[in-house]
Structure 1
Amino acid sequence: MIINFRVEITDKEEIETFYSILILGCITAIREGLLTWDQAEERLFSPNTLTKIEKLNLHSTLIEITNQGMMELNFLQRLNAIGYEKSMDDIVNLLKTFIKEQKISKGEWKHWIK
């Protein structure tokens, strides 16, 4: 059985918003015990993802968060629970600020799922 699910976004700001929401959702799922950090790395925080978002020249905040997710958080999770939670809080706060600045609730709504 083949299942297709296509996300089609051509506007850079919309891509940044979509990606921000994906990261925020992953962090929420990790905190709720619905996703492990290793699973989030496999799906989102990978060198492949970093290469793609750099190639798209997405906002430096998103590149920094992806890089931090790949490198730092996995180690902090295993070694230092307090540092890990603080880093997760910092990322969530960055994402919330970034999403608010995108003003996604204003203007014409664009459908991402095709």
Structure 2
Amino acid sequence: MAQLGSVFLPVVSPRDSAAWYSAVFGLAVSSIQEHAAVLDSPDREFRLTLMGPTSGIAAPPGLTWAPFSLLVTDIEAARKSLVDRDPGPITGDDRSCFWFTATDPDGNILLICDR
């Protein structure tokens, strides 16, 4: 059986981005190096690796599509906390999920969902 190990996201500064993701989404910083930072969800079921320019990642920051979704317990509160990141409207339905998009400080599109 396979499991998702980590998702990778290109950023300008792993240190600055780790601080932002930790403050906004409550992810724990596991490690910070010049080329990358690793963050874990509180339950350690989700790992985010922020890849800086010296990591050799081929994609530059500013992804125009969301490579993963972030699950939050209160979607209204999450949207309000991202008001400075130009969040889109909350959309979706009770059958699948409610969601919205916003950008991180590097311009990467984020998809925030309630389940």
Structure with the greater relative contact order (CA < 8 A, sep ≥ 6): 1 or 2? 1
Higher strand content, 1 or 2:
2
Please give the TM-score of this superposition, normalised by the length of structure 1.
0.28
Looking at CA atoms only, which structure, 1 or 2, has the larger radius of gyration? 1
Higher helix content, 1 or 2:
1
Please give the TM-score of this superposition, normalised by the length of structure 2.
0.28
